[in-house]
Amino acid sequence: MEYTDRFLAIVPDPGAVEVLATGAAFTEGPVYLPDEGCVLFSDIPNDRILRWSESDGMTVWREPCGFANGATLDREGRIIHCEHGTRRVSRTAHDGSVATLADRFGGGRLNSPNDAVVTPDGAIWFTDPPYGICSDEHGLQADSEQAGNLVFRLDPESGSLDVVCDTMEEPNGLAFSPDWSLLYIADSSLADGRGSNRHIMLFDVVEGRRLGDGRVFAVIEPGVPDGLRVDEHGNVWTSAADGVHVIAPDGVKLGRILVPEVTANCAFGGDDDRRDLYMTATTSLYRIRVNVRGAPGPA
Ligand code: MG
């Protein structure tokens, strides 16, 4: 593959993808824990959360885990998980105790929370597509009790949910720009054939708690965009069938990190500089060293 100088400036060695761990069925939800120097990631069909560190290799961190998917950290370093099977957003405290933060809206159960991000005010923004209830493979098959596939903001004060977006077919990964003024949300409805979207939408964030009208930021192929992250310069790093694509804030596609398996998510980590990119791809966890840091704020 040909690489542009602009891409090589941020990914100097695109071929230097390491495989760190393998043996899972479908990996998702990577999150780096700086205090432990490890990565947690979900193995959804096997209903377990795995842990990888340089010293310990791969171990099982939680099993069963409510068919957990996406993960992030809150402002206090507690772990936020989106869970398909239990159809909730949970928080794991430093003592290991687990609390339900959200599992219902408008009188019905959530579909299957997929991915989450925490804003500086402590709110948790998360997506709620149907991937965990449309079969027993990535959750438990069940009917939707919601009017659609919504994106929510969980208020840190009241604990209540507000709908921030009801216009996407199947919202999936999400990430804010470094200054928190923009929100990127992947729509992956093409993946299950119920829709035709394989794009990332871009929204203006209004007063830190609402979204303006969305516009298409980028169409991702092959495959669909699933999980995504933003770096310190505002570049968007999104999963795709062939690896991770890097897109500049102006929408220019800078290049691709090719991964040997269908890739579903990524996260920045590394104790001192957050320049390691961890990538979850089907059976395995991969890593590549890059020249930019993940955007400031929670993972
Ligand atoms: Mg996802």
Dist. CA 10 → ligand 1 center (Å): 25
| 3-class DSSP assignment, residue 44 | helix
> For the whole model, what pTM was predicted?
0.97
| Distance between Cα 172 and ligand 1 center (Å) | 5
Backbone φ and ψ for 38, nearest 5 degrees, come out as: -135, 165
- Summarised one tens digit per residue, pLDDT across range 10-32 is 999 999 999 999 999 999 999 99
User: Could you tell me if 183 and 202 are in contact, meaning their C-beta atoms sit under 8 angstroms apart?
Assistant: yes
Mean pLDDT value across residues 240-263 = 98
Q: What are the residues whose beta carbon lies below 5 Å from ligand 1 (ion)?
A: 114-115, 172, 226-227
- How far, in Å, CA of 52 to CA of 186, rounded? 26
Average pLDDT, the chain: 97
What pLDDT score does 126 carry?
98
Separation of 5 CA from ligand 1 center, angstroms? 30
Task: Give the pLDDT of residue 4.
Answer: 94
Distance CA(276)–CA(292), nearest Å, equals 9
Look at residue 271 and tell me whether its pLDDT is greater than 80. Answer: no
CA–centroid distance, residue 237 to ligand 1 (Å): 14
Distance 160 CA to ligand 1 centre (A): 23
**Closest to 128 in 3D by CA, of 141, 155, 147, 156:** 147
Residue ranges of domains in the chain, CATH in brackets:
5-289 (2.120.10.30)
Residue 232 confidence class, pLDDT cut points 50, 70, 90: very high
Residue percentage of the chain with pLDDT more than 90: 96
Alpha helices by DSSP H, the chain: 5-10
Model confidence pLDDT, tens digit, residues 96-153: 999 999 999 999 999 999 999 999 999 999 999 999 999 999 999 999 999 999 999 9
Q: 157-172: per-residue pLDDT in tens?
A: 999 999 999 999 999 9
Statement: residue 272 has pLDDT above 80 = no
Find the 221 Cα to ligand 1 centroid distance in Å: 16
What distance in angstroms lies between residue 173's CA and the mean position of ligand 1's atoms?
A: 5
CA of 188 to the centre of ligand 1 (A): 9
| 43 CA → ligand 1 middle, Å | 12
Q: Is the pLDDT of residue 286 over 80?
A: yes
- Centroid of chain to Cα 147: 23
Which band of pLDDT confidence, cut at 50, 70 and 90, is reported for residue 297? confident
Task: Please give the average per-residue pLDDT across 31-45, as a whole number.
Answer: 97
pLDDT score of 154: 98
**Tokens for 203?**
């929204």
Residue 91 is predicted with a pLDDT of 98
Q: How far is the centre of ligand 1, averaged over its atoms, from the C-alpha of 246 (Å)?
A: 17
How much distance in Å is there from the Cα of 258 to the middle of ligand 1?
19
Q: Quick one: pLDDT at residue 299? A: 66
- Å from CA of 167 to ligand 1 middle: 18
Question: Average pLDDT, stretch 81-96?
Answer: 98
Looking at the DSSP assignment, which residues form a beta bridge with residue 268?
277
Q: How buried is 29 (Cβ within 10 angstroms: 0-12 exposed, 13-18 middle, 19+ buried)?
A: buried
